Amino acid sequence: MKVVDDPLKKRAPTTVEARGILTGSNAGVTAIDFDAEESLILGASNDFASRVWTVADHRLRIFVHYTSPSQLVCYTPF
């Protein structure tokens, strides 16, 4: 039997740096996505809403609230 090394153990540690805070969600965010130009961030959350923020200044630009609990937003790709 051949033993194969786990490639995940050999990865260098990743450093993540916070660049800002996206405000406006009233519940847990379930998914985020970037547009093709990486200038907008789309977020879906458990408060029945989708939001769009700008990457440059982290400002909320678009807010869409769904009125029915059956419209819970789990994923919203661009």
| Count of the separate structural domains present in the chain | 1
Instruction: Determine, yes or no, domain membership for 74.
Output: yes
**What are the pLDDT digits (tens) for 26-43?**
888 888 889 999 999 998
Cα separation, 68 vs 38, in Å, equals 31
CB 58 within 8 A of CB 21: yes
- Cα separation values, 21 from 17, 43, 58, 60, 63, Å: 12, 13, 7, 11, 16
Residues near 27 by beta carbon (within 8 Å), at least 6 away in sequence: 45, 46, 47
Instruction: Determine, yes or no, domain membership for 33.
Output: yes
Q: Is the pTM of this model over 0.85?
A: no
Instruction: Determine, yes or no, domain membership for 13.
Output: no
Looking up residue 52, the CATH number of its domain turns out to be 2.40.10
| Residues of the domain holding 40 | 24-78
Top-confidence residue, 25 or 76: 25
**What are the pLDDT digits (tens) for 55-78?**
999 999 988 887 765 555 566 566
